[in-house]
Structure 1
Amino acid sequence: MRSAPSIAFDYRPSAVVVAATVAVASVAALSPWSSGAPPVLSAALSLFATCGAAVALRRFSAPPFRRIVRRASGWRLVDRDGREHAAILRAHRRLGALLALEWRCAPRAHFRVLLTPDNLDADTRRRLVLLLARGEPPGPDAIL
């Protein structure tokens, strides 16, 4: 395997994460009905769970950036219109098969990515893990 001083890949949300979110939201929407709560409360809780999941899925499924690039000059996030935005990698965590990354791309804007085996090929994933292992650690304010 060769060294990875730079890397670029397209980002698309994981279908596995979307499916898991739908499954958990379905259980959350149905659970008040088996709790013995009054029907009005059960309906309100079900509606709340469904709306919360719909908002989360909409935000997750339509990320503001479609491509992630790391060059010698630093990280760049490419938006839907093809414009590059300078970004600072704030945090990265490897959680088994998951790889979570967080960038700061403006004074108050954050972009978080969850990479799974279904949305990043194995070779790019290995190169990214190598690049992250060689880089500087995230700052102390990293909360990911």
Structure 2
Amino acid sequence: MIAPADPGGPWVHDIERSNLDQLLASIGSVDGMLRRFDGRRMATLEALFGEYVRELSFPEYFGWNWPAFDECMTDLEWLPAKRYLTIVEHADDLLREEPGELPTYLRQLADIGRHWSRVFALGPDWGGGEVPYHTVLVHSE
């Protein structure tokens, strides 16, 4: 089972829809930031970025490309938390119109989790040390 309090990897997890309620019950209060995304609304790269902009309140200077996504996701200065957990439901629909972008997205998520697991000496809003960042991709049965 996923341990959202553990900063170690793996940072990207695949589960089936039937296990989502169990996951949500097991994490209780995340004591951090929990965001839920709907993969059906993320069929294109632009739509995927749009969902992150909306859900994570990316700054206006966000450049709508992978380097800008990485920069914002590894900063989150405007959204400090002791741990981060993002859940992408209907993950089978992620980037369905641009499937060539999916490996980059998955690699970015792993790199983001790795980055946060190695961050040290953050202020009290972040818990003062390594910060767990996990993404759960929820697939249909």
What is the TM-score when the length of structure 2 is the normalising length?
Answer: 0.30
* Higher fraction of strand: 1
Larger Rg over CA atoms: 1
What is the TM-score when the length of structure 1 is the normalising length?
Answer: 0.30
